Structure 1
Amino acid sequence: MAQTTIPFSLQLFFLCSFLPLLSSSTQQQSPTLSLSPSDLNSLLQINNSLTDLPGSHFFSTWDFSSPNPCFSFSGVICSRSSPFSSFLQISSLSLGTGLTDSPGLTGTLPAAIADLSALEQLIVYAGAITGPIPSRISNLNSLLLLSITNNLISGPIPDSISTLPNLHTLDLSHNRLHGSIPPSLAALPGLKVLILADNRLSGQVPEILSQLIHLDLKKNALSGRLPHLPSTLRYLSASDNAMWGPLDNLRSLPDLEFLDLGMNGFSGVIPESLFLNGNGGAYKLTSVLLQRNNLTGGIPAVPPDGHSAMVGSTVDLSHNGLSGELSTVLAEAESVYLNNNRFTGMVPLEYARSVYSGSMKTLYVQHNYLSGFPVPAGSPLPLSASLCVSYNCMVPPVGPTACPASAGEQQWRPAYQCSIFNRSSVING
């Protein structure tokens, strides 16, 4: 139901944080220093293996008759490996421009990339590059960032990537990688960002032993239970997979800001820690997306010694098996999707006030067994609000409302259905 709005990507943050450091290293070098013969040969091999797609002009600056590729080749940044070295070496290589009007590159990644021994950053932008990731990439002992995205890269994730001692960010998203995630990859001590989204990966997610900050595994064919997760995690997405089991491993993630586990087979109750902050600390979750699972139980009530801190958050619990009366814990969220569950009783007045005051922009509770919605007296529904309460046990329904087409045209449930789930309720508006 909810549109998954991802905050400013940590992927881009880390890409940008490395670029100023690496670009300054070239500017400080003397033009009289030449590129090492080994690195020059690697550029020749790359140029032979990759070509511009029609409309792309990335390789137009790769003129091997120029005196120094470090100062003329697009995507090439060099540095001096030591004060006594007589050659420059490539410290950063970007293949493609990454611009929306450029179709990118085609061909295959040559093994010669692994001969760039001083490389700290390798970025391959969107294009139509095919074939596997070279296994010799393990030679790049200085590599901090490896990003090969939005291409047609196939084959398994090489185990050799797990031997890169300094790797900080790995982004292989939007390709055709298959097989399992190497357990050794999830144990890399320095790895902080792991993005493998939108591939064809299968099997269980290995135990995450590194101190990850950002983990994105969405749109694969991963199965099994949610593994142990590091307490450092801020961003977690594994939606649109085939994972199952309880969500117990979400209970101790104090820094989590974004959670998306929708469209899986997770079951059991939702951990209270996702909605409540009982210790007075700062609450950081801005998105809780658990739609289209097999979750049961209810929404936790606000305890006397705690409080809800979902101000401005997006919460999607739609299409589950949740039941019971709604607590007020989500009353301060900005967008709430509770439709297609088994909730009963009245919608809390706090929810209605938030909708009619304009602080809650979206409230979907259609396709439940709710018995009433307390419209605040004298308050018109804001034009910006999206409220849907159809197909519940309210007769007549609240109006006017703004329901999606998927809610259907039937405004309320038949009385016999309401009696099954809400025997003690009076069916009224």
Structure 2
Amino acid sequence: MSSLGYFFAINIAFVSGQCQSDQQTLLLQLKSSLTFDPSSSVKLMQWRQSTDCCDWSGVDCDEAGHVIGLDLSTESISGGIENAASLFSLHYLRSLNLARTSFNGTQIPSKLANISSLTYLNLSDAGFAGHIPLQISSMARLVALDFSFNQFSGSISSIRWEHLLNLVYAVLSDNSLNGSIPRSMFEFPMLQHLQLANNQFGG
């Protein structure tokens, strides 16, 4: 199990209730907005209107039936998520795992920051590229993030890392990030693990 997976395992206790109808609708809309290969899908192909969404593979709910965990890692998803408006409307979501998917060089949509309840975000080896959106600074509840093994480029100094006061685990390794490393990245009050290797930082 990866270090981030370990954080997922020990820090989130899911108590599943009966799925709220609006949550199920959002997930079905998300499924329809994603491009994926049905023949190799393990999770998304199990998402059906006829069953409770809290029982779907990759979905975790709280006792009130709100979706608080979404794990679509290793699904055969391609394209991007910029049109997945329903994902950004899952306002109770605490954990999002899109690791080892194939987003084919698309950018992280800035709307991802609309999910202000997120504490765990894993986009490792997901095929993202371009700049890390500045809006990540507003995700003040983040405890763990993993952006490793993507194609991110540009400087990270413009992101207000000092706003991420709850960050314990941060991995940005194996990208094409450049420029200087902001001092604020070494001043997180809760930080235990920071990994920046295999980029193009200077200064």
Q: TM-score, normalised by structure 2?
A: 0.85
Residue 156 of structure 2 is aligned to residue 173 of structure 1: no
Task: Report how far residue 205 of structure 1 moved.
Answer: 0.6
* Aligned mate of 1:35, from 7, 20, 28: 20
| 3-state SS of paired residue (1:138) | helix
- Aligned equivalents of 1:161, 1:42: Cα separation in 2: 23
Unaligned runs of 5+ in 2: none
| 3-state SS of paired residue (1:141) | coil
- Structure-to-structure mapping, 1:183-202, within 5 angstroms: 183-202=159-178
Residue 191 of structure 2 is aligned to residue 215 of structure 1: no
* Cα distance change on mapping 1:118 and 1:223 into 2, 3 Å: same
Task: Report how far residue 153 of structure 1 moved.
Answer: 0.7
- Structure-to-structure mapping, 1:392-407, within 5 angstroms: none
- Structure-to-structure mapping, 1:22-171, within 5 angstroms: 22=14, 25-26=15-16, 29=17, 31=18, 34-37=19-22, 40-52=25-37, 55-63=40-48, 65-71=49-55, 73-80=56-63, 88-96=65-73, 98=74, 104-109=76-81, 110-130=84-104, 131-171=106-146
Task: Report how far residue 48 of structure 1 moved.
Answer: 2.3
- Aligned equivalents of 2:151, 2:20: Cα separation in 1: 35
| 3-state SS of paired residue (2:137) | helix
Who wins on radius of gyration, i.e. which is larger? 1
RMSD, aligned CA: 2.2
Are the aligned partners of 1:149 and 1:175 in contact in 2 as well (CA < 8 Å)?
Answer: yes
Match of 2:4 in 1: 11
Which structure is richer in relative contact order (CA contacts within 8 A, separation 6 or more)? Answer: 2
* Cα distance change on mapping 1:94 and 1:127 into 2, 3 Å: same
Give CA deviations for 1:274-294 in whole Å, capped at 9, x if unaligned: xxxxxxxxxxxxxxxxxxxxx
Unaligned runs of 5+ in 1: 1-7, 82-87, 225-429
| 3-state SS of paired residue (2:6) | helix
* Cα distance change on mapping 1:95 and 1:16 into 2, 3 Å: same
Give CA deviations for 1:70-104 in whole Å, capped at 9, x if unaligned: 12x210111245xxxxxx211000013x4xxxx73
* Cα distance change on mapping 1:107 and 1:53 into 2, 3 Å: farther
- Aligned equivalents of 2:53, 2:23: Cα separation in 1: 13
**Counterpart AA for 1:215:** L
Higher strand fraction: Structure 1 or Structure 2? 1
* Cα distance change on mapping 1:52 and 1:18 into 2, 3 Å: farther
Q: TM-score, normalised by structure 1?
A: 0.43
| 3-state SS of paired residue (2:66) | strand
Moved over 4 A (4+): none
Are the aligned partners of 1:173 and 1:199 in contact in 2 as well (CA < 8 Å)?
Answer: yes
| 3-state SS of paired residue (1:194) | strand
- Aligned equivalents of 1:112, 1:179: Cα separation in 2: 29
* Cα distance change on mapping 1:198 and 1:47 into 2, 3 Å: farther
> How many pairs are equivalent?
196
